[in-house]
Amino acid sequence: MSETAAPRRLALIDRDGTIIVDKVYLSDPNGIEFAPGAIEGLRLLRDAGFALALITNQSGIARGLFDVATLERIHDRLRSLLAAEALHFKAIYFCPHGPDDGCDCRKPAPGMIQSAMRDLGFAPNEVVVIGDSDADMGAAKAAGVPAVRVAAAAKSASIGAAQDFLEAARRARALLS
């Protein structure tokens, strides 16, 4: 895809267990470790005309394990690591709430997906969610968009889940081709 062409599709991507190894409440920017196939899969999506955005539940904030400033440092480091690979996110959406807070942004609620579609100018038929959890799949279903599940290294694989992010990216590309 040429650098001047506007993306035709949007991949909304979960963070922990999807593109980075799930460290359980990551609170150190230096703890970022890309999941297998993450860089290759992000490149494949970019080259196929997808805009990339991150959607991530971060209840560690509500639990007092880290603050928003720490999360911003983690995301700044993630952006820097991706920029070194000529990759970037159009936006990063996060939910700072806990599981019992009743917000509309915490996956499986569709709030982050709906915000991303509205903010970035994409319709549901132009969007795919890629994630590793039931919450990711539920948010996609609630927002009326297709989803691809990737098997996280630290979790038992779900039936039908992509073995790594590269395979998930290939499936996402095929869903919206």
Which sequence positions are flagged as catalytic?
14, 16
Separation between Cα atoms, residue 16 and residue 38, nearest integer Å: 11
Find where tokens 């949007």 sit: 10
CA–CA separation, 46 and 65 (whole Å): 33
What DSSP element (H or E) covers 83? Answer: helix 68-83
List Cβ neighbours of 66 (8 Å cut-off, separation of 6 or more): 25, 27, 60
